[in-house]
């Protein structure tokens, strides 16, 4: 039954990647990136259980920390560093 979980996470990877490359604005892409990171944490845990090696949970925890820090860093850069430059921020807004 872990095959069901890993297969559904795999399909979700593809769908989230489509939104990541297709997203109209920057924040759609950041949102898709955050969702991709969360799905990667779940995928590492499920694959660890699937192959009988639950030591993968350490890697999953590390990846969760890294994903959160990465998302917050990207958002803080675009929120505070270039807040006055509306031209750059609204460049690919539809």
Partner 1 sequence: MEYLSEIFSWIFIVLGSLLILVGSVGLIRLPDFWSRLHAASISDTGGVFFLILGMMLQASSIWIFLKLLAVGIFLFISSPTASHAIANAAYVTFGYTPKKETKK
| H-assigned helices in the chain | 2-22, 26-50, 56-76, 86-89
The nearer residue to partner 1, 25 or 51, going by C-beta atoms, is: 25
Using N-to-C axis directions, what is the helix angle for 26-50 and 56-76, rounded to 10°? 170
Least separation, in Å, of the C-beta of 90 and partner 1?
6
Least separation, in Å, of the C-beta of 51 and partner 1?
13
Positions touching partner 1 (CB under 8 A) are 1-2, 4-5, 8-9, 11-12, 15-16, 18-19, 22, 25, 27-28, 30-32, 34-35, 38-39, 41-42, 45-46, 49, 54, 57-58, 60-61, 64-65, 68, 71-72, 75-76, 78-79, 83, 89-90, 93
Q: How big is the chain by its Cα radius of gyration, in Å?
A: 16
Least separation, in Å, of the C-beta of 37 and partner 1?
9
Cα dist from 29 to 11, 12, 48, 49, 50, whole Å: 18, 15, 28, 30, 30
């Amino acid at each position: 039954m872990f095959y069901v979980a890993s297969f559904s996470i795999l399909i979700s990877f593809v769908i989230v990647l489509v939104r990541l490359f297709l997203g109209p604005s920057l924040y759609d892409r950041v949102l898709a990136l955050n969702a991709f990171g969360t799905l990667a944490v779940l995928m590492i845990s499920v694959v660890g259980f699937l192959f009988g090696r639950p030591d993968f949970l350490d890697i999953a925890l590390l990846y969760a920390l890294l994903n959160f820090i990465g998302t917050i860093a990207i958002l803080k850069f675009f929120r505070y560093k270039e807040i006055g430059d509306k031209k750059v921020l609204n460049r690919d807004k539809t």
